[in-house]
Structure 1
């Protein structure tokens, strides 16, 4: 038995070096007292507790006066069963030492006091880690990305766990702490759906040219296999190389599920989506579950929610979607940042000041080729004193010594309107002078800001004042070409987020991972 205790202690020390969370702040709340029952209890060695380097764990056992708490068989079985089922929620059971805990449970009657105390600590430590991961994610987005501006979620795990423990309501704790959003629940359903699919072994589809209805192409054979596998095509098929009407209709259904132009034309985007394997789609779902645990648990009463890869904006008021808009988002080189904020101001007839990145990468090279480049775009150059600078007097070696301002108007880069909200990335929502972009299925085309289709109707809706801001009054403001700003009096939160998978009516829905975040996130989750 001494050997077993020594082995367990070594395992703890090794795992703690790799996985132990950082010490919690000294201001951690004192946990409520733990009500112990008549089951066998033994003293917990505080030296063993210290090896975990967790203030939360110390506080937990301080609440039981450093005695073991998991003497009740049902409570232990609940913890272990929940850790085993963590896979159904997109987490990895072995992150919580599930196999090790099961082995100890099977030997519990033979454990001496020291081993029993160690087992008790392991149960607590791993269950609390699991609850933390469910509430706010396993990873910290601020450590992964520079353009994810989300407030850190705080979670008093001891308070939650001990209250459930004392009231014998452990069976509801896991459901209660998970996100309540519809999308998160749709993702859990997606994981359930994809796990119901059989194993897949279909060769990669290769085609150098577009395939249209009635074409003959050997790639069509594997395309049909994929469509049958994902149930976009029903029944059986002869698997010929002819792109027939039945396959055409199935392709359109597949394209719609993946946010592609559902025209039945099989091009690079459709081929790329078809070539995702079942396993890769499952990993994508798991990555999205993690993201949704990072987002705020509660939504405001009224809000804008933007899904960047879906190129969509929804206005939600009192749990009802009142407006939906197509949007254009940043390219992979100039990503639209992830932001939670509050809408503040509508600006009509905005001017546009050329930002540093566009100045460096676009304007300066173009000006060096043609000094009339800015004049054609109605952009005026100003020196540091605010004087207008003739384009031919512009010093190409010191481009940062100037401001470059585009006058208001229909062809302004920001269009006729912008909506401002506090953020650290100098981005906003706005109209555009490239209004034809909204007709495209791939709309990752901007320099980081979000461009909104039919923005004046959106402005009328959110300003919500028929006397001051009717359609006719807004048209008059626009016609004046004067820059005017108006405060948004109704409170709207802004959720500018990123997710590439969900489900709808028991169908899997996916979007292209335009910023290539999914695979890397999944790999980090399984480190």
Structure 2
């Protein structure tokens, strides 16, 4: 093939290689003009075919070739083998290799690299292979799907991709598939844990999955002797709880042929098994009582294939959120019902939270905590006013006094409750006075958003001990919120005498010296260090749409 003159031609055109190297990398698919480039006259001089096509290519594709010296990339079978292996390896990240058509590329390579193939056919294949690679790596880094196509209410922008094209080009030249993927893959333990769990659960599914526990009227409890206990042992052993297995010479776990399951004690629900069940319950946000009731049985009976789809969905969410999640930040996992504060000094502080109930879901968003409200009053939001409070007031006007509420007009002026037609109250609002009975407690953390939600204290602290806490009307109640606030004040360089000002009982808004980055997100799975995963109830029913969209997405 005659390609020796390609680089000099670029240089003679005014240093185009230097120009394209400085162009930004974009997240968009390759432009229509790239497809039109295939219309180049096949009778053109072979040395000009690639650079003529690149003149109509996207900046990202042009830069990729510039880094390769302006020469074709996929003109030998070893390079094509590397490309096919790379695309097939995307399965380990929860992507479907078929979306990138590696088998088709392999077939086209055979035709394009045939000695009888035209130079135009070779260049056409080369560009198509490179576009496929860059699309695949961009989707590995930032997501296969646009989140707004799945969730119309999605508010967190996906960061532009930042592909290390220099490192990628070098790794391709070395045939180093794993390095290419590592350079594009989202960073952080969160993504890595999900990826490890996906590998483990796929292995389990490949072994046939775990046994299903039959429905029963009476819960299975520690101390019971029952035939279902043997199934329970096998079920937990499949995810690594090997100590629950009892030895015998007749029945072995498929992936552990050296460990037998049948024994005289296999049907007894002993302490070791109960401890393993409680660990399972903890990982699935269930009451940690060791009892196999309906909820625990349902979680145990989700097939391994179902868990795999959940992990794939959460890997896609992780790609959407990658690129801007390092350093000082506060994150709330709405499905996991937990808050994590990543301090500037590297420490991590966590707390349980109460989030919106189904039908009044807390939103997924990104914002900044800018100020605090001390000793807040509470103006009843429209939905709660309409669905909860007005019906109670209509039944008994004393409800207002019993809950320290006052009626006000839109200007905040007090109104006489006796003079209001509560069947048609119009613009009347209700405000609860500050105090120990106020549902916001003594402290609110405010951040700009269109949903009128915030993080706040609560007088009902006993609710934090429930395993599942989707109980609010959309706002997020934080356990130990005063301790969190002290850390935010310290880390933001603010000077606020928090305890003294709360003790005064005066309602007051206080700005932080520096806003604190905040993300509310939604994870229904989390990888653990040993390859297991924690699975959370999909309280807002968001997984099904994402799983379906991943299955239906058109090939790149």
| TM-score category, normalised to shorter length | 0.7 to 0.9
Q: 1:517 aligns with which of 542, 551, 554?
A: 542
Of 473, 481, 503, which aligns to 2:527?
Answer: 503
In the alignment, is the contact (CA less than 8 A) between 2:526 and 2:533 conserved in 1?
yes
Whether 1:387 aligns to 2:396 is no
Distance 1:150 1:55 in 2: 26
| Counterpart-to-counterpart distance in 1, 2:411 and 2:194 | 55
**Which residues in structure 2 correspond to 1:391-402 (within 5 Å)?**
391-402=417-428
Query: SS of the counterpart of 1:422?
Result: coil
Q: Determine the structure 2 residue equivalent to 1:182.
A: 189
Asked if 1:489 corresponds to 2:513, the answer is yes
TM norm structure 2 = 0.79
How far apart are the structure 2 equivalents of 1:466 and 1:320? Answer: 14
Q: Secondary structure at the match of 1:401?
A: coil
Task: Report the equivalent of 1:455.
Answer: 481
Tell me how large the CA RMSD over aligned residues is.
3.5
Deviation, structure 1 residue 163: 7.0
Q: Of 209, 212, 217, which residue of structure 2 is paired with 1:203?
A: 212
CA change 1:275–1:166 in 2 (3 A) is: closer
Q: Structure 2 CA distance, aligned partners of 1:467 and 1:181?
A: 28
Q: Which residue of 1 aligns with 2:200?
A: 193
- Point out where structure 2 has 5 or more consecutive residues left out of the alignment: 1-26, 35-45, 247-260
Cα distance change of structure 1 residues 400 and 137 upon mapping to structure 2, 3 Å threshold: farther
Q: Whole-Å Cα distance in 2 between the matches of residues 293 and 468 of structure 1? A: 34
2:520 alignment partner, SS class: strand
Q: Residues 524 and 537 of structure 2 are in contact (CA less than 8 Å); yes or no, is this contact kept in structure 1?
A: yes
Give 1:175 shift: 1.2
Q: Distance in 2 between matches of 1:391 and 1:94?
A: 66
Q: Distance in 2 between matches of 1:45 and 1:398?
A: 73
Are the structure 2 counterparts of residues 141 and 469 from structure 1 closer, same or farther at C-alpha, using a change threshold of 3 Å? same
Q: Is residue 411 from structure 1 mapped to residue 416 from structure 2 by the alignment?
A: no
> Are the equivalent residues in 1 in contact too, given 2:61–2:131 (CA < 8 A)?
no
Normalised by the length of structure 1, the TM-score is 0.83
Residues 25-424 of structure 1 mapped to structure 2, 5 A cutoff: 43=49, 55=58, 68-110=72-114, 112-113=117-118, 114-155=120-161, 160-161=164-165, 164-165=168-169, 168=173, 171=176, 172-197=179-204, 198-200=207-209, 202-215=211-224, 219-234=228-243, 235-236=245-246, 237-238=261-262, 242-318=268-344, 320-424=346-450
* Partner Cα separation in structure 1 for residue 488 and residue 98 of structure 2: 48
Q: Deviations over 1:335-367 (max 9, x none)?
A: 111122222112110111111111122122222
Q: Kindly indicate whether residue 450 of structure 2 is the aligned counterpart of residue 446 of structure 1.
A: no
Deviations along 1:156-213, whole A, 9 cap, x unmatched?
A: 66xx447743784784342122221210111111122223322225235423443322
Q: 1:44 Cα deviation (Å)? A: 5.7
Question: Residues 183 and 502 of structure 1 are in contact (CA less than 8 Å); yes or no, is this contact kept in structure 2?
Answer: yes
CA distance change for structure 1 residues 475 and 25 in 2, over 3 Å: closer, same or farther? farther
Aligned residue pairs, count: 489
What is residue 13 of structure 1 aligned with on the other side? Answer: none
